[in-house]
Amino acid sequence: MKFSEQLRKKADSIWNASFEHPFVRGVADGSLPIECFTYYVQQDSFYLSRFAQVQAIGAAKALDFHTTSQMAFHAKSTFDAEHMLHEGFAKDLGLEKNSEGHMAEEPAPTAVAYTNHLFSVAYKGSLGEVIAAILPCYWLYWEIGEKYKGSTPEHPVYQKWIDTYGDEWFATLVKEQINRLDDCAKKASAEEKQRMESIFITSSRYEYMFWEMSYTLEKWPV
């Protein structure tokens, strides 16, 4: 069993919880209150601005020029593809960017915690650990896109979201990062692979918490 397959198996219960979360199911069947999706878009815009920076740090940690180039391409793709998708949502939902280039009026506690987790791994860890941190975001969204492909929520914004993550261009990006994780694992020590596993599980938990944050319109308590 490949290292990526081992991690996916260990995260299965967490990912199943994401598949069945009322936010995700609500997008698929069109029942999600639009204010929850609007809040998600705002927070995800903040998250993606940080996610691209972590991808760029990963590019700097690569030991060969090809991997540096590909990781830099992924950072650019986050803006060109996913961020542009959110700009389309912004027009539909009446949102505007702030001076930092994202749409969150104030990043929510979970969004801050998740991105701080990613930055901590990026600055302290190896390339393999960076990939382990960012891969659940790629991979989980791809599986959600595949699971709910064919859904007809009868809401154009929700339909666009489902169609994006079920598209082949996104699958190509995900598979590339899965293969990169396995390549890194082949060269990693047992201790590093343990860290990669722990990081992957933590990011998977944050993905679930991101749905919950959006569904409950999470705010700072004080």
**pLDDT digit string (tens) for the chain, length 222 residues:** 999 999 999 999 999 999 999 999 999 999 999 999 999 998 998 998 899 999 999 999 988 998 898 888 877 877 776 667 777 887 777 776 665 556 667 899 999 999 999 999 999 999 999 999 999 999 999 999 999 998 999 899 999 899 888 888 888 989 999 999 999 999 999 999 999 999 999 999 999 999 999 999 999 999
Residue 221 lies in a domain: no
Candidates 36, 82, 129, 137; catalytic one: 137
Residue 172 lies in a domain: yes
Domain CATH for 94: 1.20.910.10
Cα-trace Rg, the chain: 17
Residue 207 among the catalytic residues: yes
| Per-residue model confidence as pLDDT tens digits over 76-117 | 877 776 667 777 887 777 776 665 556 667 899 999 999 999
Residue 220 lies in a domain: no
Residue 180 lies in a domain: yes
Total tally of structural domains belonging to the chain = 1
Residue 193 to residue 70: CA distance in whole angstroms: 22
| Structure token pair of residue 87 | 């700009």
Residue 204 lies in a domain: yes
- Residue 168's domain comprises 3-215
CA angle 70–45–82, rounded 5-degree value: 40
Residue 49 lies in a domain: yes
Candidates 36, 82, 129, 207; catalytic one: 207
Residue 177 to residue 71: CA distance in whole angstroms: 9
